[in-house]
Amino acid sequence: MGSRINLGKATPDAYKAVLGLEQAASAAAKKAGLADGLTHLLRLRASQINQCAFCVKMHAADALKAGEPIERLSVLPAWRETEYFTPKERAALALTEAVTLVSTGQVPDEVYESAAQELSGEELAAVEWIAIVINTWNRVAIASRYEVGPS
């Protein structure tokens, strides 16, 4: 792959603004009582959908550090077909996927309404902001072609 301009280095003020948004979304998730492991799984799932290798690698490691078992990371792409996730986690995953796939059907009312049955308003907003921000980061990393390889 050819090299690309690193957006963070080329426009540090824009990068810092996204970092501020990340910090605000993380604070909202913490305030809403969402577990760190879950928020990393949400970021990981969006990154898997977007095929952002840089963010997949980072959030898989972050989820493990937050105490998520390898089994949950392993089945995350097929979460609907497992018994590893609670109804609340399933609602958060479905909402994250809908926000990530907004170009194919927007955020369907049935997904949002289902999430609203499991998540409080504060949790709903936090999940949506986590999804919005990780999708932004995915685009930064993909457009910049952040390198990904063995550590």
Domain that holds residue 36: 10-144
Number of domains in the chain: 1
Query: Is residue 8 packed enough to be buried (19+ CB in 10 Å), middle (13-18) or exposed (0-12)?
Result: middle
> Is residue 2 domain-resident?
no
* pLDDT, tens digit, 9 for 90 and up, residues 7-54: 989 999 999 999 999 999 999 999 999 999 999 999 999 999 999 999
Answer whether residue 58 is part of any domain.
Answer: yes
Which pTM was predicted? 0.94
CATH number at residue 65: 1.20.1290.10
5 assigned to some structural domain: no
Let me know if residue 149 belongs to a domain.
no
Residue 2: phi and psi, rounded to 5, are: -75, 160
Question: Does 89 reside within a domain?
Answer: yes
Measured between alpha carbons, how far is 128 from 117 in angstroms, rounded to an integer?
Answer: 15
Q: What was the pLDDT predicted at 144?
A: 87
* Average pLDDT of the chain, as a whole number: 95
> What pLDDT score does 117 carry?
98
* Residue 3 maps to a domain: no
**Residues 119-129 pLDDT 10s:** 999 999 999 99
Is 150 or 37 the better-scoring residue by pLDDT? 37
**Does the structure show a pLDDT above 70 at 91?**
yes
Position 145 scores a pLDDT of: 85
Residue 56 is assigned to a structural domain of this protein: yes
Residue 81 in any domain: the answer is: yes
